Structure 1
């Protein structure tokens, strides 16, 4: 009989469901909206998990009980002792069995980019976080959220950009192409109208703000030095995640650690990726590795891995992992 392994990669913008067979071939996939419970609420996050699970099983013509193993990589999982058990119980209820594990979505990026091999992966999407494993021990850094963390992420870049716009508007910084890009994007009649768009009654959600990072990139491409400085700073913040995680995992000083990346900032914004890789090379401590697979596939790969292991032996710093 065909074996089915389901991986769920939750993100700040979307959630991807990928099901593979025992040979690693993708046999079904689905997409839903974000399952970031801090934005949409735990109830809506669970509803979207059920929607995606139903779509995958419907495509395969099977019941959830036929899935051999599932891994749910969920945003902010491992960070709330009240919500985590609720999400874990909901996954058990949706599947109707206990052959699954829940963890933070950072695991999906690492599992995909490095194929579940020892090393580090830096996620820079809507938010930012680093995860790696060494000799069966995992660790995370970053991922503290948009209020006081997520440095180097799209949301962080966008917030730095919005602050730059305010300085340009006030005359505290010279006006450059970025001011024009924001004015055009929001069709502003006056600069102060931006406050209403961002924080007003119909203000922008976290993911919508994160998409404004594209305006910073556009302005940087047009020669805006202040916008370029933001992107360069983002690369520096991501390097700090990498070096802290390298130390936390206890890699010897003479070992060049494989490091990869995932998320829209490092996958799609060439300036940030190139600056990040250049900074990595300067340290002499890392070996950059182009991502082997996307995070959704990584989640399914991780599910297959857990099915073959006594997953209770996996130790992850920061408690982002739980299984039945």
Structure 2
């Protein structure tokens, strides 16, 4: 947990995700006074009770760090994965924070907003998130739109989960001869300590259905295979870049942005920690779709973005220090 001294009232931001959840507390001057990180807040994976426990623990930890209480929170924003994608679940998600905050000075929304608010400082533009899952969100002249993020079974293209599944598929094809063996095969064999390649079925499925974050972590093996010179692995990242660019361009259309109008685009999520491996194909495909994109480095992390958005909901513009 990171800690700085500060005085309330505070703005609380929660950046949820399929692998980790960040809790950030900022004062009215925009100074980050406390932060904490816990595991996944994907309610489909951990359940409503698990989500309640995780959020209560994280909020309690950052408030305790500055000897504050929930009453000291001027406003909070909870960016939660899969929020807004199930009308029945949304009613439950919306009331969870009230139980430990004891007031209604908060709002829940999709975690895509955290990435956008952080990367672009809450200004017009589009942010693409490629973490465990993938999703994009943008705003232009008061209009907002999202793209992608339909879930890992039939969407989340370009995400860590998607890249890992493509890598596993390539491994299986290499294993039975449908695809010539390349370095990817050896990377998976060694990293997963497989005696024979079919052992990967037990390693992935085990006795329980594989968790979303466990599969997503295997994207690192695909990246390692690229470094080892595997052409199939590189083609997976090439397609990932294309898919992420397509999400951004779909959002641009929804925002009624004229073809020749400049549009800022930024990015967030663990996939972008691979650097140019994903940024190069993403940038190339995006500009092929429309040369009027300006790709900019993220200004702040999504957790900070959540505090910015919380302040905005309270009609205050923070300037993070």
TM-score, normalising length: structure 1? 0.93
Partner of 1:204: helix, strand, or coil? Answer: coil
Check the 8 A contact 2:114/2:305 in 1, yes or no: yes
Q: Which runs of 4+ in 1 moved over 4 A?
A: none
**Are 1:5 and 2:19 an aligned pair?**
no
Q: Deviations over 1:203-247 (max 9, x none)?
A: 531101101111111111111101100010000000110110000
Q: Which residue of 1 aligns with 2:315?
A: 308
**Are 1:192 and 2:198 an aligned pair?**
yes
**Are 1:286 and 2:293 an aligned pair?**
yes
Check the 8 A contact 1:280/1:288 in 2, yes or no: no
Distance 1:109 1:284 in 2: 23
Distance 1:80 1:278 in 2: 34
Distance 1:222 1:244 in 2: 34
Check the 8 A contact 1:196/1:203 in 2, yes or no: no
CA RMSD of aligned residues (A): 1.2
Distance 2:74 2:101 in 1: 10
Match of 1:117 among 113, 119, 123: 123
Give 1:144-155 correspondences, 5 Å limit.
144-155=150-161
1:281 deviation in Å? 3.0
Gaps of 5+ in 2: 1-6, 317-321
Q: Which residue of 1 aligns with 2:259?
A: 253
Number of equivalences: 309
Distance 2:210 2:37 in 1: 22
Distance 2:193 2:68 in 1: 49
Gaps of 5+ in 1: 310-324
Distance 1:129 1:287 in 2: 19
Q: Which residue of 2 aligns with 1:319?
A: none
1:280 deviation in Å? 2.3
Check the 8 A contact 1:70/1:101 in 2, yes or no: yes
Check the 8 A contact 1:197/1:203 in 2, yes or no: no
Q: Which residue of 1 aligns with 2:107?
A: 101
Q: Which residue of 1 aligns with 2:34?
A: 28
Match of 1:295 among 297, 302, 311: 302
Q: Which residue of 1 aligns with 2:132?
A: 126
Give 1:136-285 correspondences, 5 Å limit.
136-202=142-208, 204-282=210-288, 283-285=290-292
Distance 1:2 1:172 in 2: 62
Distance 1:47 1:82 in 2: 20
Q: Which residue of 1 aligns with 2:73?
A: 67
Partner of 1:150: helix, strand, or coil? Answer: coil
Distance 1:184 1:267 in 2: 23
Check the 8 A contact 1:114/1:292 in 2, yes or no: yes
Partner of 1:20: helix, strand, or coil? Answer: strand
Distance 1:67 1:203 in 2: 39
Partner of 1:174: helix, strand, or coil? Answer: coil
Check the 8 A contact 1:176/1:224 in 2, yes or no: yes
Check the 8 A contact 1:267/1:273 in 2, yes or no: no
1:40 deviation in Å? 0.9
Match of 1:54 among 43, 53, 60: 60
1:81 deviation in Å? 1.6
Check the 8 A contact 2:8/2:72 in 1, yes or no: no
1:202 deviation in Å? 4.8
